Amino acid sequence: MNKRASGILLHITSLPSPYGMGDLGRGAYKFADFLAETKQHYWQVLPLNLTNQACGNSPYSVVSTFAGNTGLISPEILIEDGFLSEKDLNQMPTFPQGRCDYESAISYKEKLFARAYKNFDLNKKSEPEYKDFCLKNSEWLNDFALFITLKGRFGGRAWSQWKEELKDRRKSALSAARKDNKDEIEKAKFLQYIFFKQWFSLKTYCNEKGIRIIGDLPIYVDYDSADVWTNTDIFKLDKDKNMTCFSGVPPDYFSETGQLWGNPVYRWDVLEKTGFQWWVRRMGHNLACFDVTRIDHFRGLVAYWEVPSGEKTAVNGQWVNVPVKEFFNTLLGHFANFSIIAEDLGLITQDVRDVMDHFKFPGMKVLIFAFGERNPMHPYLPHTYGRNWVVYTGTHDNDTVKGWFENKATPEEKNRIFRYVGRELKAEEISWEFVRLAMMSVADTAIFPLQDILGLDTYARMNTPATVIGNWQWRFLPEQLTPSVYERLSEITEIYGRDS
């Protein structure tokens, strides 16, 4: 990421689609065309892993760090590939435009998936390709398919509440479960095959147009996941496989009790003895799926905040160091093209900065954080950047620039903005003024949520941290990408030398 370029942050679920949520179909390809025509070189997405409706369909709360989100599968492409016919879509419900209706969309798609799998099972149209996929991904796919099947058999209960012989993964019990649920397991594998077939087709299309995909990797995984069930030795669990401590962050300016996330933390001593094998597999999977990977909560790979189980807040935690240089040296030894972005937002200590500098990992600058105090050398102000940074107007966890300006920015913050740009701004102007500030900075990479390119307000916010309801639902409408948006984005990209 060492040349001037820009791109758009837009999750797949936010794409237009007639099927209740954005997917990997025509809307995705049209958006790739938009990026190419406006001279963008990056498309940043959120995690693509299989989500959990009980967790609000958050892409950061997943049942497997390897498995893809089958809700993103495009029915249109299933027809093109011969797994469905046009008549299979005749009784499609009416879905809302501009918002995701996850429950209805997933319920509808599951019926389509059952038909697609039946047709595949009867015709075996792609059997060699399918077998090759299963073989190449067997290290995670076999356990995931069994895990998701058993969760269905046990009414969605967590793996820790399953029968003891399955909870403990006794060989005889696993063998019997695979035999008794063979068809459901095969269907789960088939859907993963379809997801990755569609994803890599889209990625190839983007790459051929000069667009690189930036993915997102949360460092923690959910306790109730295939990852923990199959790798209990690398997480801090007791003899009964319950968590002994939780992940989180300590008290700070934003929260006097800190944040208690509740994910299990790693046993880094065990990981190091294995040569960090699980992480090597995980990172290899991500580097195959994306051209660049943003590591969420990067500081947790240097030292993490560990809170004993039973605590109600994150106050009584402690910092625990990670063998970070050994870890990244191992990854760099395995992957020649190790392109990452370190999410370094929040309170970042010098040891984290030292690691980023040592490995030359680019960090993040967020413009809406730049005006909160009277400091002409604030690290988020554009004139303070070096080249090796990725500047954002905002992220998926922030309000849109316009929403923030209208509802949260103080009079003092607004005045600092006006002084910085040399004039007063209206709410209708603020989004594009922030885009311009990012574009003209010396940072090699500038990324903008599509909401800010469209000048949208709080209604289009993607996520409000520490809340469950109402998140991850926004979708744009095709007609919002007007000719003037094309022209304006193309022009500003060219003016500031990010088009080549």
Structure tokens at 110: 């599951």
Cα–Cα dist 291/335, whole Å: 12
227 catalytic residue (yes or no): no
What is the C-alpha to C-alpha distance for residues 277 and 339, in angstroms, rounded to an integer? 19
* Residue in 298, 382, 362 with CA at minimum distance from that of residue 42: 362
Q: Which of 343, 399, 444, 452 is catalytic?
A: 343
Residue with tokens 């936010």: 14
Dihedral of the CA atoms 94, 99, 100, 105 (nearest 10)? 0
**Distances, alpha carbon 494 to alpha carbons 37, 391, 441, in Å:** 12, 17, 14
What CA–CA distance (Å, rounded) separates 331 from 340? 11
Angle between helices 138-153 and 277-289 (to 10 degrees): 90
Q: Please identify which of the residues 216, 296, 399, 457 carries the catalytic annotation.
A: 296
Contacts of 269 (CB under 8 A, 6+ apart): none
487 is an active site residue: no
Contacts of 20 (CB under 8 A, 6+ apart): 93, 95, 96, 100, 101, 102, 104, 105, 108
Give the active site residue among 397, 406, 413, 429.
397
Task: Say how far apart CA 470 and CA 88 lie, in whole Å.
Answer: 31
222 is catalytic: no
End-to-end CA distance of the chain: 13
Catalytic residues: 296, 343, 397
